[in-house]
């Protein structure tokens, strides 16, 4: 069977991608330092997939650990999710973000070239577009982001491009995510952030569960449909399938794809969709804008559809329903 290394494979997007890889009969090797996930996700992935996974608790910024992985396994490809991703934290801890997110990418690229692993799928982010004109398309020149996290994604893209340019057989697929939300329909895996959620959907689901009193809506004076921020929310299962399509269609050279729906949804539109999809009321209060936020962000998704034969299929109601399905199970499992 074809074997794939998935770094950060017990994380939110990584775990959903492992499920899709296993469903397509890949052999999956996960390495994760469990800094933002828990070990039981491995068993949850195996339960959903009725397949086994090889798991290493490890740190892909440590060269010896990366070398051991490549010496022990004959990978056909690497999907690199492992990285810190909290925008606000990156502003406070820039060196930690540059060191973790860049060294991991450099080491994995180095060992792919040393061991002739010719498929590298990289987890990037729409944040690299900065405050560009929407809809964002892959040919746009990147603007500086407002945070070190975004800069680590843009720099990683450049590192991988430079490596691919001198490695004839290497194919690199850079996937720029928009706003991943939702969870696997089983409710077994989903987004379980540590501490107070930075992102909108996990905050909404924690309000729905009664863990938070109300949602603070960060500004309603943007030039958008209802004044609140507009984003391109994409179901995490659609996003996971996008990774499989990228891996299977990967040829030599560097390829960039937006993984979004192409549709913008405002904060209040998402709140209303959540209430309709779940029957749960979400109290909210309009407060000041959050520093660094842009008004609108949504994707031009024609390239992924044309070249990968992939497009998102799930709508905002399914995203809300599945996000709530996971959170409400969490609530049942977790004694406060």
Query: Any contact of residue 231 with ligand WQD (CB under 6 A)?
Result: yes
The answer to whether the CB of 3 falls within 8 A of the CB of 76 is yes
Query: Any contact of residue 148 with ligand WQD (CB under 6 A)?
Result: no
As measured in angstroms, the least distance from the Cβ of 76 to ligand WQD is 26
Question: Is 76 buried (19+), middle (13-18) or exposed (0-12) by CB count in 10 A?
Answer: middle
Residue window 27-66: x/- pattern of binding to ligand WQD, with contact defined by CB under 6 A: ----------------------------------------
What is the token pair recorded at 130?
């900065």
- Contact range with ligand WQD by CB under 6 A, out of 8-16, 131-139, 198-206, 240-248: 198-206
Query: Any contact of residue 200 with ligand WQD (CB under 6 A)?
Result: yes
- Contact range with ligand WQD by CB under 6 A, out of 36-44, 61-69, 213-221, 237-245: 213-221
Beta-carbon contacts of 203 under 8 Å, excluding residues fewer than 6 positions away, are: 196, 197, 212, 215
Strand partners, 32: 57
Strand partners, 215: 284
Query: Any contact of residue 13 with ligand WQD (CB under 6 A)?
Result: no
The b-or-e profile of 291-306 (16+ CB within 10 A means b, else e) is eeebbbbbbbbebbee
CA distances from 217 to 3, 212, 269, 286, 288 (A): 44, 14, 12, 5, 8
Catalytic residue among 12, 26, 97, 149: 149
As measured in angstroms, the least distance from the Cβ of 280 to ligand WQD is 17
- Contact range with ligand WQD by CB under 6 A, out of 60-68, 110-118, 289-297, 304-312: 289-297
Tell me, yes or no, if 149 is annotated catalytic. yes
Query: Any contact of residue 174 with ligand WQD (CB under 6 A)?
Result: no
Identified binder of ligand WQD from the candidate list 132, 193, 211, 218, rule CB under 6 A? 218
* CA gap 20, 244 in Å, rounded: 7
What is the token pair recorded at 69?
């992985």
The answer to whether the CB of 129 falls within 8 A of the CB of 146 is no
Identified binder of ligand WQD from the candidate list 109, 164, 217, 304, rule CB under 6 A? 217
Beta-carbon contacts of 228 under 8 Å, excluding residues fewer than 6 positions away, are: 217, 219, 220, 222, 266, 267, 268
Count of residues touching ligand WQD (by CB under 6 A): 19
Query: Any contact of residue 87 with ligand WQD (CB under 6 A)?
Result: yes
What is the token pair recorded at 237?
């299962």
What's CA 78's distance to the chain center, in Å? 15
In the chain the first and final C-alpha atoms are separated, in Å, by 43
- State which of positions 262-281 bind ligand WQD (CB under 6 A): 267
- Contact range with ligand WQD by CB under 6 A, out of 5-13, 88-96, 214-222, 249-257: 214-222
Query: Any contact of residue 131 with ligand WQD (CB under 6 A)?
Result: no
Identified binder of ligand WQD from the candidate list 12, 203, 298, 310, rule CB under 6 A? 203
Measured from the CB atom, is 29 or 128 closer to ligand WQD?
A: 128
Question: Is 100 buried (19+), middle (13-18) or exposed (0-12) by CB count in 10 A?
Answer: buried
What is the token pair recorded at 235?
């179901």
- Contact range with ligand WQD by CB under 6 A, out of 6-14, 54-62, 168-176, 196-204: 196-204
- The residues carrying an active-site annotation are 149
Which residues contact ligand WQD by CB under 6 A?
Answer: 85, 87, 125, 127, 177, 179, 198-200, 203, 216-218, 229, 231, 267, 290, 293, 297
């Amino acid at each position: 069977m074809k074997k794939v290394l998935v770094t950060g494979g017990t994380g939110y997007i990584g775990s959903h991608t492992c499920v899709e890889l296993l469903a397509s009969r890949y052999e999956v090797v996960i390495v994760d330092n469990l800094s933002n996930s828990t070990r039981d996700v491995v068993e949850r992935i195996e339960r959903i997939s009725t397949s086994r996974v090889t798991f290493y608790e490890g740190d892909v910024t440590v060269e010896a650990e990366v070398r051991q992985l490549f010496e022990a396994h004959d990978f056909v490809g690497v999907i690199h999710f492992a990285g810190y991703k909290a925008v606000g934290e990156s502003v406070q801890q820039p060196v930690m973000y540059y060191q973790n997110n860049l060294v991991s990418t450099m080491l994995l690229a180095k060992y792919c070239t040393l061991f002739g692993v010719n498929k590298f799928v990289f987890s990037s982010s729409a944040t690299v577009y900065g405050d560009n004109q929407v809809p964002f398309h892959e040919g746009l020149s990147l603007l500086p982001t407002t945070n070190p996290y975004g800069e680590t994604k843009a720099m990683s893209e450049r590192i991988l491009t430079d490596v691919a340019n001198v490695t004839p057989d290497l194919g690199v697929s850079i996937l720029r995510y928009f706003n991943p939300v939702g969870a696997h329909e089983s409710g077994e895996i989903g987004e379980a952030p540590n501490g107070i959620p930075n992102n909108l959907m996990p905050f909404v689901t924690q309000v729905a569960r009664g863990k938070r009193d109300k949602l603070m809506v960060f500004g309603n004076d943007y030039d958008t449909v209802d004044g609140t921020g507009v984003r391109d929310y994409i179901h995490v299962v659609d996003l996971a399938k996008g990774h499989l399509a990228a891996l299977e269609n990967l040829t030599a050279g560097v390829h960039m794809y937006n993984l979004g729906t192409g549709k913008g949804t405002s904060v209040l539109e998402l709140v209303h969709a959540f209430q309709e999809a779940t029957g749960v009321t979400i109290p909210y209060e309009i407060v000041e804008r959050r520093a660094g936020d842009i008004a609108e962000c949504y994707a031009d998704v024609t390239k992924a559809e044309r070249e990968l034969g992939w497009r998102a299929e799930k709508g905002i109601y399914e995203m809300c329903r599945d996000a709530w399905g996971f959170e409400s199970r969490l609530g049942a499992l977790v004694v406060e």
